[in-house]
Amino acid sequence: MGNKRKVVLFIASSLDGYIATKEESLEWLFSVEGEGDNGFSEFYDTVSTVIMGKRTYDWIMSHELKEFPYVNKDCYVFTRSVVEDKENVEFVSSDLPKLINDLKNQEGNNIWIVGGGELLQTFLEEKLVDEIIVTVAPAILGKGIPLFREGDYQLNLSLKRTRTFNQFVELHYEVNK
Ligand SMILES: NC(=O)c1ccc[n+]([C@@H]2O[C@H](COP(=O)([O-])OP(=O)(O)OC[C@H]3O[C@@H](n4cnc5c(N)ncnc54)[C@H](OP(=O)(O)O)[C@@H]3O)[C@@H](O)[C@H]2O)c1
């Protein structure tokens, strides 16, 4: 691989910047008419590592009834508790910058930050994000779980591309370093 692996946030948000309602519902997202899989499989093919916070993991486990969806990728779930690893998932509470640095020095494709907003805050404060792809749903929620929490970070971005998938708009940015 010529280029270093990139850390990419790929996530869907309401127009007012929420990733779920307070009750963790995604109905406002799943009810939107998109196009195909809204770029998901194209993106998914570019990653070999998946990272998420424990609440996102718990949401997936309580809604994806058949099996964990990311079995063919290396998957890390961040938690401050001690949780026994599962067949396809490593639970980590260690130093996030160190993990990312180690991963970037290993062979592999890109690293996907699945979410949610709480884990993302650490990525942003530690300046660990290389690219941001937000798929905006045509909904305003008024309140909910924020994509971008208040925190000690400020990033300047360069727009790489915009695309639409019927009712969705995909915004693809590179983080200026
Ligand atoms: N719209 C979308 O595309 C999308 C994508 C992803 C998620 N979501 C939704 O977002 C919601 C969850 O987001 P969220 O912001 O509430 O939570 P989250 O970031 O998914 O998870 C928060 C948990 O992760 C752990 N954590 C976070 N930062 C950490 C750090 N720096 N070090 C160690 N552990 C850390 C903690 O786990 P412990 O409490 O176990 O210590 C914390 O309680 C769910 O409803 C999910 O469905 C939506």
For 6, the token pair is 């990139």
- Cβ of 122 closer than 6 Å to ligand 1, yes or no, is yes
On whether residue 135 sits in a domain, the answer given is yes
Q: What is the identity of the amino acid at 40?
A: F
Q: Region 53-77: what's the mean pLDDT?
A: 90
Closest C-alpha to ligand 1, atom 27: 119
On whether residue 33 sits in a domain, the answer given is yes
In the predicted structure, residue 1 carries a pLDDT above the cut 60: no
In the predicted structure, residue 67 carries a pLDDT above the cut 90: no
Closest C-alpha to ligand 1, atom 37: 79
For the chain, the domain total comes to: 1
Closest C-alpha to ligand 1, atom 4: 19
Residue 4, pLDDT score: 86
Distances in Å between the Cα of 66 and the Cα atoms of 31, 54, 59, 61, 69 are 21, 19, 14, 9, 9
CA gap 111, 89 in Å, rounded = 15
Q: Are 69 and 60 in contact (CB under 8 A)?
A: yes
Pairing mode, strands 131-137 and 168-175: antiparallel
CA of 88 to the centre of ligand 1 (A): 18
In the predicted structure, residue 82 carries a pLDDT above the cut 60: yes
Look up the CATH number of the domain holding residue 160.
3.40.430.10
Residues linked to residue 168 through DSSP beta bridges, in sequence order: 165
CA of 170 to the centre of ligand 1 (A): 22
The tens digit of pLDDT for each residue in 137-174 reads 999 999 999 999 999 999 999 999 999 999 999 999 99
- Cβ of 41 closer than 6 Å to ligand 1, yes or no, is no
On whether residue 1 sits in a domain, the answer given is no
Pairing mode, strands 110-115 and 7-14: parallel
On whether residue 66 sits in a domain, the answer given is yes
Residue 25, pLDDT score: 97
Binned at pLDDT 50, 70 and 90, residue 65 comes out as low
* CA 159 from centroid of its chain's CA atoms: 18
On whether residue 128 sits in a domain, the answer given is yes
| Structural domain of 121 | 7-175
Q: Are 119 and 55 in contact (CB under 8 A)?
A: no
Binned at pLDDT 50, 70 and 90, residue 6 comes out as very high
Mean pLDDT in the chain? 95
3-class DSSP state of 60:
helix
